[in-house]
Amino acid sequence: MNRDNEIRDVFVVADNVLSPLGKTTADNFSRLKENQSAVKAHHNPEISQQPFFAALFDNNDFLQADQKYTRFEQLLIASVENTLQNCAINIADKKTVLIVSSTKGNISLLETEPYNIDLKKRISLPHSAQLIADHFGFLNQPVVISNACISGVLAIITGMRLLRTGQYENAVIAGADVITKFILSGFQSFQALSPQLCKPFDQSRDGLNLGEGAGTIILSTNEKYHGNIKVKGGSVSNDANHISGPSRTGNELAHAIKQAMQDADVSSENIDFISAHGTATVFNDEMEANAIVIAGLKSTPLNSLKGYYGHTLGAAGLIESIISLKSLQEGLVLPTAGFEQAGPGTAVNVVAEQLNIKANNFVKTASGFGGCNAAVVIGR
């Protein structure tokens, strides 16, 4: 039993991944083991005049008849609902907090609606988060995390830190993003999209694929979950380098990884695999590889899930952490879809085929626009 002056253990209680591959974590992991990818070629003039590769929902069967909620909000609701069905957490408790992660939210309403005071409110993430909280009956004001592509990992770290303070006992952490013309065109303007299936850490990588989906994870400090997998530590850092370009050295992400391991009270030798951000852009993968080497994890097995899900933005850190959690439980590290041969500047141990492994801990990394970096350690 933790005393008040000790750091509280933070246990994983339940989770859900809702993606084009499946409606539950189990569905998703089953299809991933069969090497199925949700990333496909699309020809949709409503989103782009040019063909593009992305992981999009073929149908919207998570949508409800209630038009009160947008597609983004209904995706969140469906993921949270599934997760709550698999645990006994009391959401109508002052000791339970909702954390919502997203990079874009309802921003695509700018495409279709006239801009006015009402729309300004409707596209705000705090407004969406409160709608979700009210739908389920959360008593506390929800916390919103929107910090570029580290949002999902940062949401997990934020939940861990809030629970450690003792202010809350349970945290429901949910993230989602959907892909629209507004969002796709932004990445096209950066010339950041690959014209084919992305190739994380590969010598011929040429850009990312976008994806849509949602992920939810519930954390708790209640000792009845003793024995569950734990969120052990986490840290964030910033490059202060460029608004859209990552650090050229990787020192800053390496700092976040080292601090996360220190927070978790584990060394690099205790990390059994890495769930990398691995966007398949030329500079991000090189920076991340540098950081992993600097952090002492050069030989540690590493994968990227972007070739299966695309980059799901504010949901990415959650979806990829949850899938990696399943990998930890099943002793199976998934291969990096699209990877064939490492190129210069990426001298890390990229998993190219399914790897059976006895694992106790993994590190999940993320980096994003503005130079933000995050790392979280999850383990037994």
Q: How confident is the model at residue 63 (pLDDT cuts 50, 70, 90)?
A: confident
As given in the structure block, the two tokens for residue 128 are 């969406």
Given this model, what pLDDT does residue 2 score? 44
Domains with residue ranges and CATH for the chain: 11-224 (3.40.47.10), 229-379 (3.40.47.10)
What DSSP letter does each residue of 314-356 carry, written as one string?
A: GGHHHHHHHHHHHHHHHTEEPP-TT--SB-TT--S-B--S-EE
CA dist., res. 247 & res. 135, Å (int): 41
Identity at 376, one-letter amino acid code: V
Given this model, what pLDDT does residue 3 score? 44
> Could you tell me which residues come within 8 angstroms of residue 286 by beta carbon, excluding any fewer than 6 positions away?
250, 345, 346
* Residues 237-269: tens digit of each pLDDT: 999 888 888 898 999 999 999 999 999 999 999
CA dist., res. 102 & res. 75, Å (int): 12
Kind plus residue range of the DSSP H or E element containing 220: strand 213-220
Given this model, what pLDDT does residue 79 score? 98
Given this model, what pLDDT does residue 343 score? 76
- Predicted TM-score (pTM) of the model is 0.97
